[in-house]
Amino acid sequence: SVIKPLHRTRFHFQPRRNWINDPNGPMYFKGIYHLFYQYNPKGAVWGNIVWAHSISRDLINWKPLKPAIYPSKPFDINGCWSGSATVLPGDKPVILYTGIDPQNRQVQNYAIPANLSDPYLTEWIKPDNNPIVDPGPGVNASAFRDPTTAWLSKSGHWKTVIGSKRKKRGMAYLYRSRDFVKWTKAKHPLHSAANTGMWECPDFYPVPLRGKLGLDPSVTGNWVKHVFKVSLDLTRYEYYTVGKYFPKKDKYVPDNTSVDGWSGLRYDYGNFYASKSFYDPLKKRRVLWGWANESDSAQDDVSKGWAGIQLIPRTVWLDHNQRQLKQWPVKELNTLRGKKVVLSHQKLLKGHTVEVKGITAAQADVEVMFSFSSLDKADPFDPRWVDAQAACDQLGNSQGGVGPFGLLTLASENLDEFTPVFFRIFKAHHKHVVLMCSDARSSSLKEEGLYKPAFAGYVDIDLSRKKLSLRSLIDHSVVESFGGGGKTCITSRVYPTKGVFDDAHLHVFNNGTEAITVEYLRAWSMKSARMN
């Protein structure tokens, strides 16, 4: 008999086997979405890195092609690391990527399609004039990688940013070129920040001040802001700032509402790394891809035969407060929605749990709108909880005043396993503080080798309408959640032993003294995507 692979996802991006990490060079070209990603063709641990390649017409169902870029020349013989794609005028894609050379230096290379009339872009050429950028004097050759999508300035120069560090300072080196081949380092970096360490996978793009539309990377003007994101290798998390780009000086300055470093804004307060966005000219949106690694052991990965998933691509735009981004799963995901169940005007008194029956709880999409009639019972906020995760660690889903309320995902029949995703609301000076948690501590009875953190973030949201929404995408070993309409997102990787397949359950709960109303809850069984 065939054993169904227990924790494999069914609608998140995965190749059939082996290790994957960073999404690379996502783009839209002639009716087709392309995704490249860091891939080990030989096993379920990191190594032998190539650019694997898949294509899709809807960002959800994927077809694999052969690897686009793999070590073959001196300039990438020890690895083809992360990078990006830029579609040059005349619909000509170019890939910029980091190659590891024979001295293990990180150099930047380019690759071009062998045949522009092949919409699949199956074959890629790495011209002999590579590398086009080497670390040069004063640059740390083992910390110089991940070139961004380039943008074109009014002066006719292409610009790209390469992530690096100078001692402990995170650096975004800026390079300019007229022809995309000869690149010159700018005197000043686009941006840098003390004590943040290596800046991996930088991303830099404009967003309009108002509305959800995405923009081509070359757009500037006083009706846009820019977003700058980096991945910090020290802690394996990402942060971004919202700020202003001055094209003439080639400087990016974060707004004073955005901070660089450990307390900065995050796309996701859970397992989400090395992300990369692209402009989708078809739907006029900016789409963000992020990678989630496994939270089990390398030994588990070897026996599963695979490791790593890409999270559901998210549309990103600037929140109307202009201080942060909002994110939402691309709407194409809804095509996988199958059987639907609904709850409405369901009151949840203190300690109440209602099971959502009739869908495949291990593979589901759930949208809930909660409401409450007053915040009077909100517990006081402890100012020591600067770090949301510390608050969630301490409180979990134990009883509170207003909240915790939310979902119990991937729950076993007798509730000895479950991953709760929930809110708790506190009273601080002159305002309320909303904490969102995705707590993996109770996710699995398995103890050994699992990383089960209580991930958490604050939700900077106006509660005057006394409502708070939550959406969770549940896919066997991943719970990807969007709080407050996409203001705060948290992804957890979990490995239930009993709450699996048809034995998985979904509940909505309230463990606060204030009664909570589920204004509506819509949950869908999700079909499996055609996945490579």
User: Which is closer to ligand DQQ, CB of 98 or CB of 409?
Assistant: 98
Those residues with Cβ within 8 angstroms of residue 424's Cβ, 6 or more apart along the chain or in another chain: 379, 391, 395, 400, 402, 403, 404, 434, 435, 437, 512
User: Which is closer to ligand DQQ, CB of 39 or CB of 426?
Assistant: 39
- 238 forms part of the interface with ligand DQQ (CB under 6 A): no
Q: Closest separation between CB of residue 157 and ligand DQQ, Å?
A: 25
In 31-177, where do the E strands start and end? 32-40, 50-56, 63-69, 80-88, 92-100, 106-113, 124-125, 144-145, 151-152, 158-166, 169-177
Q: Cα(first)–Cα(last) distance of the chain, in Å?
A: 23
3-state class percentages of the chain: helix first, strand second, coil last, to nearest 5: 5, 50, 45
User: Which is closer to ligand DQQ, CB of 49 or CB of 490?
Assistant: 49
Core vs surface per residue 208-246: b (16+ CB within 10 A) or e = beeeeebbebbbbeeebbbbbbbbbbeeebbbbbbbebe
User: Which is closer to ligand DQQ, CB of 47 or CB of 221?
Assistant: 47
x/- site string to ligand DQQ, residues 358 to 377, per CB under 6 A? --------------------
Tell me the residue type at 151.
W
Q: Are the beta carbons of 363 and 475 closer than 8 angstroms?
A: yes
**From the list 35, 49, 55, 171, which residue makes contact with ligand DQQ (rule: CB under 6 A)?**
49
Partners of 211 in the β-ladder: none
Q: What angle do CA 408, 409, 414 make, to 5 degrees?
A: 70
22 is catalytic: yes
**From the list 13, 15, 22, 44, which residue makes contact with ligand DQQ (rule: CB under 6 A)?**
22
Peptide bond connecting 404 to the previous residue in cis, omega within 30 degrees of 0: yes
User: Which is closer to ligand DQQ, CB of 19 or CB of 158?
Assistant: 19
User: Residue 475's Cα: distance from chain center in Å?
Assistant: 16
Whole-angstrom Cα distance, residue 409 to residue 479? 8
Q: Closest separation between CB of residue 528 and ligand DQQ, Å?
A: 27
Whole-angstrom Cα distance, residue 100 to residue 170? 21
- Tracing tokens 């400087």 back to the chain, one arrives at 251
Query: Could you say which residues in the range 80-139 bind ligand DQQ, by CB under 6 A?
Result: 81-82, 98
Q: Are the beta carbons of 299 and 446 closer than 8 angstroms?
A: no
Q: Return the H-helix or E-strand segment holding 393.
A: helix 388-395
User: Which is closer to ligand DQQ, CB of 81 or CB of 240?
Assistant: 81
Number of residues that bind ligand DQQ (CB under 6 A): 13
Q: Closest separation between CB of residue 98 and ligand DQQ, Å?
A: 5
User: Which is closer to ligand DQQ, CB of 22 or CB of 250?
Assistant: 22
x/- site string to ligand DQQ, residues 184 to 223, per CB under 6 A? ----------------xx----------------------
In 3D space, the residue among 203, 172, 174, 208 whose CA is nearest the CA of residue 272 turns out to be: 203
Quickly count: other Cβ atoms within 10 Å of residue 323's Cβ: 15
Query: Could you say which residues in the range 469-508 bind ligand DQQ, by CB under 6 A?
Result: none
Whole-angstrom Cα distance, residue 36 to residue 70? 12
x/- site string to ligand DQQ, residues 314 to 333, per CB under 6 A? --------------------
Q: Return the H-helix or E-strand segment holding 302.
A: helix 298-304
User: Which is closer to ligand DQQ, CB of 104 or CB of 335?
Assistant: 104
Q: Closest separation between CB of residue 420 and ligand DQQ, Å?
A: 29
**From the list 9, 14, 18, 21, which residue makes contact with ligand DQQ (rule: CB under 6 A)?**
21
Q: Are the beta carbons of 272 and 289 closer than 8 angstroms?
A: no
**From the list 8, 126, 145, 424, which residue makes contact with ligand DQQ (rule: CB under 6 A)?**
145
Q: Return the H-helix or E-strand segment holding 506.
A: strand 505-510
Q: Closest separation between CB of residue 271 and ligand DQQ, Å?
A: 13
List Cα–Cα distances, 304 to 8, 298, 367, 417, in angstroms: 9, 10, 31, 21
Whole-angstrom Cα distance, residue 515 to residue 374? 9
User: Which is closer to ligand DQQ, CB of 97 or CB of 426?
Assistant: 97
Query: Could you say which residues in the range 54-83 bind ligand DQQ, by CB under 6 A?
Result: 81-82
Q: Closest separation between CB of residue 507 and ligand DQQ, Å?
A: 35
Query: Could you say which residues in the range 257-276 bind ligand DQQ, by CB under 6 A?
Result: 274
User: Which is closer to ligand DQQ, CB of 292 or CB of 388?
Assistant: 292
Catalytic (active-site) positions: 22
Point out which residues bind ligand DQQ (CB under 6 A).
21-22, 38, 49, 81-82, 98, 145-146, 200-201, 231, 274
